[in-house]
Every structure is written in structure tokens, then in C-alpha cells.
């Protein structure tokens, strides 16, 4: 009875997570990131990159954008004709800009991003448990096969094949699942691992990390009872993310160390700050944002 219950439960959760990963549409940027008709026409008429960037900077002045390209330019998608939010990337396979894009997975024929990243993690976890369960139940017959205790029938080759397939899938999925668990703990996507996001103070691969506990809540939500269920509980809207960096000049560190409020904008700041949504504020409740002080990544609270 226990065998059947565990088997059916793991299979149901596996299929449920797999289906949610496949059929959940990738989240795309909201309309506020699209250029107005006038800006779009002016952008297409301009031939100089400097003039185009000036148009984009003017359009992005009220948007919650804190990252740029490596050359300090506004991240703009010519294909979708919109300003890319932080952590958003264009998927050539889906031909859309995907919020917090991780990668395009051929196994699910879908993009893995903000809308279905939790489902993808649960799919890996339940696949891992399912393969482990199959390998463990076939192990005794696999041992009998090598000790010649298994009857000489065609079924023994099926047992051998089933065990090797389950074991190989278990090993491969274990490595992938472990890698994504590490990514969740660091609050990074696969793309950000290979190309660190560029903030005002330069590239920082840990710019979105709020600590392991809060990073976990950002993906799975506040309610732990829903963590193992493939239902959407991720925090935020996918367009804005709390960061551990405060946009300020290094000279202002002396002021902030005296417990004076850190200024959110400076004279040459290109991207003014905007309040985060309620769900994202919960991640930072009771905590201060952080400021980098040097190459050793020593951090001091900004007051």
C-alpha cells in the first residue's frame, strides 16, 4: 500500500510540475516599457546611436531600471521595440522578451523565466525523486540478475535496461537540480552566471542577492505550505527586483556612515528610483540596502 501511494504521488506531482512548466506562457514586459508612438518614430528616423540613446534615456527616466549594457547603454530590444526591464532578455526561439529569463529549455519546449521558474525547479525535483524511486525498487532484481538468481526469461533484460535508464537520468538530473539550487541561493539566472548584470557601479554578479533565505522566498513565496506545490507563489511582478546596491557615489559613503539617509538620486544618475511593489518590499522588511565599499566587497549599512 505504501509503495503504491508513494509511486502514484510522485508520478502525479511529476506530471503536474512538468505540465505547468510546458504550458505556462513566458511573462513579458508590461506596456510601460514600450516606446510611445512618437518616440518610436523618432528612434527609427535617427541614424546616430548617440541620438537613439538620448531618446531611450528620456523614455526610461521614470522606469525602474538599474542595469545597463556593458557599454553603459540603455538595454533596448529592436525586435520587440521596448526597453528591457532588469533581468529581461529576448528569446530567439520564442521571439519574445522574457522577464527574468533563465534559459530556453528544449525538454519542455518553453522558456524558463519568472512565470514558470518555480515549476521548472519542482519538475527537476520530482523527476529526481521519481528516478530514485524506480532505481531503488528495481535494485533487488538487478542484484539477482548479476548473481544469476533471476529466472532466465526475457524480463531480466527489461530489468537491466530499466535500472540503467533510471540511474543515468538520476545522475544527470541531480547535477542540473543541484546547479539550479545554487542559482536560487545566489539569486542568479543562468544568463547572469555567464554575463554579470551591469549596475551604475559596474558589473556585479551578486547585485540581486538578498541573502539565501530571502532569495529562496523570492522564488517560492512567503507561504512555506505552498513551496512543494506547482502553483505560482513567486514574489514581485518580474519587472522590478530589490537589489543590495544603493545608487550613490563613493563620496557619499562618509555621509551614510553617520546614519544620514542615503540619497536615491545624484546629479548624473540616469535611472531614478521608484518604490518597489508591496510583495518585493516584504523581502527587505526590517533590513537596509547595502553599499559596496571596495574590491573586498566589504559592505556597510546605508542608514
Which residues are annotated as catalytic? 105
In three state form, how does the secondary structure of the chain look? CHHHHHHHHHHHHHHHHHHHHHHCCCCCCCHHHECCHHHHHHHHHCCCHHHHHHHHHHHCCCCCCCCECCCCCCCEECCCCEECCCCCEEECCCCEEECCCCEEECCCCEEECCCCHHHHHHHHHHHHHHHHHHHHHHHHHHHHHHCCCCCCCCHHHHHHHHHHHHHHHHHHHHHHHHHHHHHHHHCCCHHHHHCCCEECCEECCCCCCCCHHHHHHHHHCCCHHHCCCCCCCCCCCCCCCCCCECCCCHHHHHHHCCCCCCCCCCCCCCCCCCCCCHHHHHHHCCCCCEEECCCCCCEEECC
Amino acid at each position: 500500500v505504501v509503495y503504491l501511494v508513494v509511486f502514484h504521488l510522485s508520478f502525479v506531482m511529476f506530471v503536474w510540475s512538468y505540465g505547468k512548466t510546458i504550458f505556462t506562457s513566458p511573462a513579458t514586459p508590461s506596456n510601460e516599457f514600450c516606446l510611445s508612438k512618437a518616440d518610436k518614430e523618432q528612434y527609427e528616423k535617427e541614424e546616430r546611436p548617440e541620438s537613439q540613446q538620448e531618446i531611450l534615456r528620456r523614455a526610461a527616466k521614470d522606469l525602474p531600471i538599474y542595469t545597463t549594457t556593458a557599454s553603459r547603454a540603455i538595454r533596448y530590444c529592436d525586435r520587440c521595440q521596448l526597453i528591457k526591464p532588469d533581468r529581461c532578455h529576448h528569446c530567439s526561439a520564442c521571439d519574445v522578451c522574457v522577464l527574468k529569463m533563465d534559459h530556453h529549455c528544449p525538454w519542455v519546449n518553453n522558456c524558463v523565466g519568472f512565470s514558470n521558474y518555480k515549476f521548472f525547479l519542482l519538475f527537476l525535483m520530482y523527476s529526481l525523486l521519481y528516478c530514485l524511486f524506480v532505481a531503488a525498487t528495481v535494485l533487488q532484481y538487478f542484484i539477482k540478475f548479476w548473481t544469476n538468481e533471476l529466472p532466465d526469461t526475457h524480463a531480466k533484460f527489461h530489468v537491466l535496461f530499466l535500472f540503467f535508464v533510471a540511474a543515468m537520468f538520476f545522475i544527470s538530473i541531480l547535477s542540473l537540480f543541484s546547479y539550479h539550487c545554487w542559482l536560487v541561493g545566489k539569486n542568479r539566472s543562468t544568463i547572469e552566471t555567464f554575463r554579470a548584470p551591469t549596475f551604475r557601479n559596474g558589473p556585479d554578479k551578486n547585485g540581486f542577492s538578498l541573502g539565501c533565505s530571502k532569495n529562496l522566498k523570492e522564488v517560492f513565496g512567503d507561504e512555506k505550505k505552498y513551496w512543494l506545490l506547482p502553483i505560482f507563489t513567486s514574489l514581485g511582478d518580474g519587472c522590478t527586483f530589490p537589489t543590495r546596491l544603493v545608487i550613490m557615489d563613493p563620496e557619499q559613503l562618509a555621509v551614510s556612515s553617520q546614519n544620514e539617509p542615503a540619497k536615491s538620486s545624484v546629479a548624473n544618475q540616469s535611472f531614478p528610483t521608484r518604490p518597489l511593489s508591496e510583495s518585493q518590499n516584504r523581502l527587505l522588511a526590517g533590513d537596509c540596502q547595502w553599499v559596496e565599499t571596495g574590491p573586498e566587497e566589504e559592505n556597510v549599512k546605508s542608514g
